[in-house]
Amino acid sequence: MAWIVLAIGVLHAVGLNWGLPNIDGWDDDGVAPRDFLVGLSQTYTPGQYYTYPPVHLLILAVVTSPITLVTLGKASSFAPDELVRTFLNPWTMTWFALLARVVTWAMSLGIVLALGQLAERVWGRIAGLATAVAVGLNATFCYYAHTSNLDVPYCFWACCSLLQWVRAMADHEPRRMRWAAVFAALAVGTKDQAYALFLLGIPLALALWMWTDGWARKQSRQVFREVGLSLLIGAVSLLVLDGAVFNPTGFRARIAFLLGTASQDHAYYSKDAMGRWRLLVDSVLAFDRYYPWPVGGLVLGGLGAHLFRSRGSKLAAGLLPCLAALSFLVAFNVAARRTEHRFLLPQSLLIAVYVGTAVQGLMGVGKRAQRWVVGGGLGAIGLLALYRAVAVDVALVFDPRYEAEAWMASHVASGETLEVYGNNVYLPRLPVSAKVVRVDLRPVGQRSVLPGVMEVEAPYGLVEQRRSKWIVLSDGWVWQYLYDPGLVRPGYVISGDQQWRKGDVEARRYFQDLVSGRHPKYRTAFVASWSSRYWPRVEIHVSTAREIRIFEWVE
């Protein structure tokens, strides 16, 4: 297990400095480098709230506290504007981003260990080792292990909780439920959607345990006492960790925000039977985002073997990962109507335990020669999964933005105007000698600050009035104006977040003309795009392998 964790640690560490040094990160929806200190301040300021709960923000604040203290010492005053100027420098922001990613990296290895131990406890040592390998080679998991997003951290606490639930049932130690409840509170206190793993999964597993295990029925009074105590511990812990005790008005406002615009404005499926059917089908078809398709056969085989061969507490404990995965599907995916990479990540991690079950069974049957053949087949599947996981590292190391940066360094002269659009996370690092102008329809106060950049609030299509020498356009941002809303199939909807872009006809026409080469005043000067003979194009969270187009003014 130590060698497996070491190997996965190397896999998850290559490319950890993606896009750094920088004053911002390239990991879309990440909480570092800019957001976690601001988020903490908003969480505990009466009436205010931050998008996410504060548990991981507190962890990052502690880990980065030496950098914070050094930077505070450089500030001439504690006035908000002065603090923003002092902190927005490449040294501070790079350390914030890198340390946040290191924390995520460590938690990714914790997930590998926790699920490996879970499988070992239920099925045996080989199952534990095979599960650890399968989890570590999950391609989407490999990406999020490199970021400051909250998806790996909440999955880490959730896996710790599920491990304690499994031990409570399999080892007949109900007192472990107390720790399970604390870890569950930490998971939900890291990212709210973690609740969906426990809402249906734990009650169903407990009911199955009581039904199949004679010991649990005989000790039902003790079991139910521990269940009740654990619920109390979990609820109190969550209210304290989530900021509800210290800022009840802000907590209520955040919950209302999460149930409203934060979720429903980004839904991609319709609120009817067709929409739910499409969601379920897409959830299954998304399997190859995480593992090669042959792994699906191992998952089904391992789950089937467990159902037919296990009894009593082992049956209930071994089904808990499956029940938690189904619980998340029903309580979050169907409710929020979303199936992006990160929203199927917890299920993809939990089902890996059944890969371990299958491997344990396959390696224990037949003669030695047959086991060698089976081992060869499993090795081939493992190598394919490793290839896909390494491809994620390659996508980070050779991000097209690096190529765009090199081109601009040699072609954009000092003082020339360079026009950009969109959030910082989509942009390459821009040449400091250029005069950078960012154009957006949003008010300047609603944008993330880019030091040295002139912010302009104006329609995009008035570019001929601005006469910028260069335009830098990221595919990770402009796709919102290039897609055809008329091609939406039954069961799908245009998210609320896209509805207003659909109505901005002039902006859509401008960007379509620019990209297609029809614009009368700009020609394509350079396109940085993913190209490799050996590695596939990896697109995750609108962050990897996205094209950067650079246009030049033509007189």
pLDDT tens per residue, range 334-355:
999 999 999 999 999 999 999 9
Burial letters for 455-471: b for 16+ Cβ neighbours within 10 Å, e otherwise? beeeebbebeeeebbbb
Q: What are the CA-CA distances from residue 292 to residues 32, 42, 295, 380 (Å)?
A: 31, 42, 6, 11
Q: Is the Cβ–Cβ distance between 142 and 332 less than 8 Å?
A: no
Helix axes 125-136, 2-13, angle to 10 degrees: 0
Helix axes 293-309, 352-362, angle to 10 degrees: 70
Q: What are the CA-CA distances from residue 198 to residues 108, 165, 184, 195, 328 (Å)?
A: 20, 11, 8, 6, 8
pLDDT per residue as tens digits for the range 180-216? 999 999 999 999 999 999 999 999 999 999 999 999 9
Q: Exposed, middle or buried by CB within 10 Å (0-12, 13-18, 19+), for 218?
A: exposed
Alpha carbon 285 to chain centroid distance?
19
Plot region of 213 (φ>0 → left; ψ -120 to 50 → alpha; else → beta): beta
Q: Is the Cβ–Cβ distance between 135 and 115 less than 8 Å?
A: yes
Write down the H helix ranges in 364-504: 368-397, 400-411, 463-466, 475-482, 496-503
* Tens digit of pLDDT at every position of the chain (555 positions): 999 999 999 999 999 999 999 999 999 999 999 999 999 999 998 889 999 999 999 999 999 999 999 999 998 888 888 888 899 999 999 999 999 999 999 999 999 999 999 999 999 999 999 999 999 999 999 999 999 999 999 999 999 999 999 999 999 999 999 999 999 999 999 999 999 999 999 999 999 999 999 999 999 999 999 999 999 999 999 999 888 888 999 888 888 888 777 667 788 899 999 999 999 999 999 999 999 999 999 999 999 999 999 998 999 999 999 999 999 999 999 999 999 999 999 999 999 999 999 999 998 776 777 778 888 999 999 999 999 999 999 999 999 999 999 999 999 999 999 999 999 999 999 999 999 999 999 898 888 888 889 999 999 999 999 999 999 999 999 998 887 766 678 898 887 667 767 778 899 999 999 999 999 999 999 999 999 999 999 999 999 999 999 999 997
For residue 55, how many other CB atoms are within 10 A of its CB? 23
Containing 549, the helix (H) or strand (E) segment is strand 548-553
Q: Exposed, middle or buried by CB within 10 Å (0-12, 13-18, 19+), for 219?
A: middle
Q: Is the Cβ–Cβ distance between 121 and 374 less than 8 Å?
A: no
For residue 327, how many other CB atoms are within 10 A of its CB? 23
Burial letters for 133-163: b for 16+ Cβ neighbours within 10 Å, e otherwise? bbbbbbbbbbbbbbbbbbbbbbbbbbbbbbb
| 440 vs 456: CA distance, rounded Å | 7
Tokens linked to 331: 């309580």
Write down the H helix ranges in 265-367: 273-285, 293-309, 312-328, 335-336, 345-350, 352-362
| 295 vs 138: CA distance, rounded Å | 11
Backbone φ and ψ of 506, nearest 5°: -65, -45
- The SS3 of residue 417 is strand
